[in-house]
Structure formats: C-alpha cells, structure tokens
Amino acid sequence: MNSKYVSGFVYVPSGGETLYTNVLLPEREGKFPTVIFRNPYVSWAENATEEKVTVECLRELERWLGRGYTVVHQHCRGTGKSSGDFIPYLNEHEDSNNLYDWVRRQPFYNGELFLSGNRHERFGPVYEADWFDYIRGLRSSPVELGKVTYYSLFENKWKSDDFVPPEEEIVLPLGQNTVTYKYNPYDPPSFKGGLSTNFGGAEFQDKPNSRHDIISVYVAPFPSDTLVKGRIRAKLVVSSDREDTCFVMRVSIEKERGDFPLRDDITTLCYALGDYTPGEKAEIDFAFDEHAFLIRRGERLRVDVASADSAHYVRHTNLKGLYSAQDRAVVAKNTVYLGDSCLIIPKAEQ
C-alpha cells in the first residue's frame, strides 16, 4: 500500500446496520476538506478482504489526496461489505445523514464537506477537483459560468455555450421499402449497450438486420464534416394487427471498428396516439435525448427499428391496457413504411 498517504477502514453504524467505509487522508495529522462517495456498485468486494478493498479504493481515488482532500468512501447498505438489504433509495437519506454526522465528529474534518459520485464523474476527476477548489475560492472556475458545458463526441473537446438548438435541420429519408415482421414477446430482440436511460454503457452493435424482427437502415454518406448538436428526432410510419404494440428506434454512427450507438427511444402506439385501430397506418414521433457529436465526411448513420429491446426495456405484450394487470402476451404483425419515415438531425456550425 502506498505509504505516502494514510488509509484505513471503519464500519459506520446506521439504522441497525454497519456500513463499510474507507477513510483516506493526505497526511496523518491535520484538518482537511472531505469528499464523500457513497457507492452501490461494489459487488466485487463482497468476498474480498477489507485490506484488499482499501488498496483498491486508494488506487482509484488517490488523485484526491494529492489535491489535499480527505476521501471517505462508503459501500451503500446491503452492497459490498456493508450489512443489511439493498433497496434502492429507501435508506439513502438516513444512511447519508449518519455518515455526514460521523465525518463532522472526526479530527480530520475542517468544516468543508463535498459530495461526489464514484462512477459518474461527469467532467472527469481533474475537472471535479478544480470545481471544488473554485468553490473554496482557491482558483478560477474550470468552466464558463452561466453556460452549458458538454463534451462533443468525436470532435473530442469540451465546450461551454448556451446550447441553443440550431435552426438548420437535415432530413434523412430511411429508404423506400415497406417491411413487415412478427414481434413475439416470448422471443424478443435486444441490443448491445445501454444508452439514454440504461446501465451498461455504449457497445459496438451487432451486424445490421441481425434478426428477422430488427430492421437496419443506413442513410446516405455525409458529403462533408457535420456537427450534430441538440435533439435528434424521427418520424416513423407504421401499422400493426394489434390494438397496441411497441416500437424502438436506435441511432448509431458507422466507424471503422463497427457501428457505435448514440441514442435510443421507445414508445407504444397507444402512448403516442391515445387509441389505435388495427391495420391503420399511423405516424409516431421519436425525440432522442440531446447530444453533440461530429459526423465525418463519408460516415453514415445507422437506424435500427424493432418492437423490443429486452436487455433494457420491459417487453410489450402486444395487448392494450395496464401492463401490470396482464397475464399473457400475443404475437404482433408489425409493418414499417420506410418510404414515409425519416430521421431529422440538428446541424450546428463548427
């Protein structure tokens, strides 16, 4: 273990349970600002020794000690080496407050307490430490205040601006074909990698049209470098032989290593339309989470359409009504009219 810093562990009591907590100090003596992490993603630590967990914690968070911060890293109740049952959100308020009170009683605490997310450091560790130093009055702001700071993917740079949606939009047809497939909830399709609201992180996608119930379409290659900024939208014209069914859209970009996913969205006929008459053509709208990324000349966007992504969303039963009240599922015959459908991307100035 690195002898430059002081590290150890304690079990902090909370609500009748004991929560495993690592404490990392930049020096053995003194008072320091404290950064708190509470982490439920520590299943790997269940069978590890406290000493090994401490070594891994120090390795991952040592950068904070070099900036003069104490680190307090706790396994959430029922995870890692903490006792109890993990029930998301139920005990976090009590356990967090107990930890804060415990820190305030420690000799290393200087009156400054900062909260951080262990796996979701949006600006990266350097920016986060810079931001805390700014709050403490030790440096200027690492980002432009009053602006939206975001990362432009494939342009590979951080930007700060008002993130006003650009006026120019590019409408990309999805082809001329009409494709019909059967969606079976007992044998649903799925996609690699969680995107807009799911865990798992982005992964290169399977080959296009990897199943009979997945429609994959590439738009025409882009004639020049194009910066996309804002909310991608799509219009999908469909029909079904059921009163309700589901449609999923996923947008990826073609790269040398494969097709890299960008955003996905999901809706149902009844959610989009209110009511649906089987056999009728209907237009449904998709609005993907905002994004910023660069499409280089010659690259193509890929659009996948299906009626399920069972890895990330609950399977639709193809029955109308409240899902929790349904005890069966049926097969749907769904049709996508690609010639009437399109992808709409917001084009920004570079």
Instruction: State pLDDT tens for residues 255-306.
Output: 999 999 999 999 999 999 999 999 999 999 999 999 999 999 999 999 999 9
Distance in Å from the first CA to the final CA of the chain? 47
Question: Domain 6-142 classified CATH 3.40.50.1820?
Answer: yes
Positive or negative: CA dihedral 125, 72, 116, 118: positive
What is residue 139's three-state secondary structure? coil
Domain with CATH 2.60.120.260 in the chain: 169-348
Q: Which pLDDT score is estimated for 89?
A: 87
Residue 96, sorted as left (phi over 0), alpha (psi -120 to 50) or beta, turns out to be: alpha
Name 251's Cβ contacts closer than 8 Å, sequence gap at least 6.
Answer: 232, 234, 261, 262, 263, 264, 288, 301, 302, 303, 343
Residue 143's pLDDT band (boundaries 50, 70, 90)? confident
Contact 117, 126 (CB under 8 A): no
Q: Is the pLDDT of residue 59 over 80?
A: yes
Distance CA 98, CA 94 (A): 6
Residue 23's pLDDT band (boundaries 50, 70, 90)? very high
Q: Is the pLDDT of residue 149 over 80?
A: yes
Say how many CA atoms lie within 13 Å of 155 toward its Cβ.
19
Instruction: State pLDDT tens for residues 175-223.
Output: 999 999 999 999 999 999 888 666 677 899 999 999 999 999 999 999 9
Contact 238, 335 (CB under 8 A): yes
Q: Which ranges in the chain belong to alpha helices (H)?
A: 50-66, 92-104, 124-135, 269-273
Strands 291-295 and 258-268, bridge-based pairing? unpaired
Backbone phi, psi, residue 112, to 5°: -110, 125
Q: Which pLDDT score is estimated for 125?
A: 60
Domain with CATH 3.40.50.1820 in the chain: 6-142
Q: Is the pLDDT of residue 103 over 60?
A: yes
pLDDT (average), residues 123-147: 87
Question: Cα 280 vs. chain centroid, distance in angstroms?
Answer: 35
Higher pLDDT, residue 128 or 344: 344
Question: Cα 309 vs. chain centroid, distance in angstroms?
Answer: 16
Q: Is the pLDDT of residue 42 over 90?
A: yes
Q: Is the pLDDT of residue 341 over 90?
A: yes
CATH among 2.60.120.260, 1.10.10.10, 3.40.640.10, 2.30.30.100 for 169-348: 2.60.120.260
